[in-house]
Amino acid sequence: MAFKTLIFALLFVCPPVVKPWILRICCGARVGRHVKIGWFASLMGRHISLGDYTEVRALTLIRCDGDIVLGPYALVSSFNLVYGAAGLFVGAHSYIGPQCLINTEEDVRIGSWSALGARCMVYTHGSFLPYTEGYWVRFGPVSIGDYVWCAAGVFLQPGSEIGSNSFVNSRSVVSGALPPGTVAEGNPARAVGEMERMRRSMTPRRIDAAAGHMLRHFAELVLSNSLGLRVEQEQGGGLRFQHGKHPYRIAIAAAHGPAPEEQAAAATTIWLVSRPGWRPRGSPLWLDLDAKLMSSAADHTYVELALFLKRYYGVQLAYAKER
């Protein structure tokens, strides 16, 4: 125990670049490729497994006596505190927002493609008044399924269970089981709708419309407002602009209609692809909305677009070479 406490403290103060190596060498942790652990962040558990492209951001502390398992592309944001005698299990592409508090006296399990918004609280143990004087103590693991979104400020009490493909609205208190496919809110949280009724069916034309909408928002919020660039709209929803002395084109490979034509490389072209199975031959910069994949290119504007899609529209893409 003293050794693990020492390593936990060492991880807290050492530079991020060496933290994965310390976990491998000193703790026998399974650490995937491109794992990031931020400044003044630390984690320690009985067994540790961090998938490829997992990230634990700055000023987050995870100290569990049980196992810690973070799946590929899982992201634990800044200013989080996770502690307890049991374990934390987070699925692939899942997210824990900033300033969350997670008590793991019993196991906490979060499925794949699920999220806890900012300032959520998860408790698996509740007590303060003396048990020997007749007051209650409550223990219970917490389980969150796949494709679940708990919005900002949700409180999950011991024994809570949320079925897959569900949404829990902000400031709700979950104290029992919510079945799969539920839209819930309130204290205690109760079903107020069904996800399938809230969710649109996406035809090829709607997917193309969504791609165009996201691209116009990117042009307004990032290219025009943040970077001060002059953006020209292309027929078909694409964009043209110049970043410094470098001309760019962002084109949409539509899901319906004829296959897109690739133009001569007068500008760096980024493809936003909604057409199943299509890949550009002349550009390494593509984001495939259908297959949920992207290339591993490092172009700054390309990376900014990928981050924008993830942050504002929940579109998470894995690197194609990892498939």
Question: Which tokens in the block code for residue 193?
Answer: 């709708």
Rounded to whole angstroms, the Cα distance separating 11 from 70 reads 17
Q: Which tens digit of pLDDT belongs to each residue from 158-194? A: 999 999 999 999 999 999 999 999 999 999 999 999 9
Specify the amino acid at residue 238: G
pLDDT above 90 for 234: no
* Span 304-320, average pLDDT: 95
Q: In CATH, what class is 2-196?
A: mainly beta
Residues 198-223, mean pLDDT to the nearest whole number:
93
Angle subtended by helix axes 19-27 and 2-13, to nearest 10: 170
Q: Is the dihedral of CA 25, 28, 32, 36 positive or negative?
A: negative
DSSP assignment string, 196-254? HHHSPP--HHHHHHHHHHHHHHHIIIIIIIIT---EEEPTTS-EEEEETTEEEEEEEE-
Q: What is the pLDDT of residue 265?
A: 67
Mean pLDDT is lowest, of 147-151, 261-265, 286-290, for 261-265
Average pLDDT score over residue span 4-31: 95
Q: pLDDT of 22-59, one tens digit each? A: 999 999 999 999 999 999 999 999 999 999 999 999 99
Confidence category of residue 264, pLDDT binned at 50, 70, 90: low
CB 261 within 8 A of CB 281: no
Confidence band of 109 (pLDDT split at 50, 70, 90): very high
Query: What is the chain's percent helix, strand, coil content, to nearest 5?
Result: 20, 30, 45
Using left for φ > 0, alpha for ψ between -120 and 50, and beta otherwise, residue 25 falls in alpha
Cis peptide before 188 (omega within 30 of 0): yes
| CA separation for the pair 214, 312 (Å, rounded) | 9
| Residue at 75: amino acid letter | L
d(CA 105, CA 4): 18
| Helix/strand/coil (H/E/C) assignment for every residue in 106-173 | CCEEECCCCEECCCCEECCEECCCCHHHCCCCEECCEEECCCEEECCCCEECCCCEECCCEEECCCCE
Domain boundaries in the chain?
2-196, 204-322
Residue 322, pLDDT score: 45
Average pLDDT of the residues of the chain = 94
How many CB atoms are closer than 10 A to CB 241?
19
The pLDDT, as a whole number, for residue 323 is 41
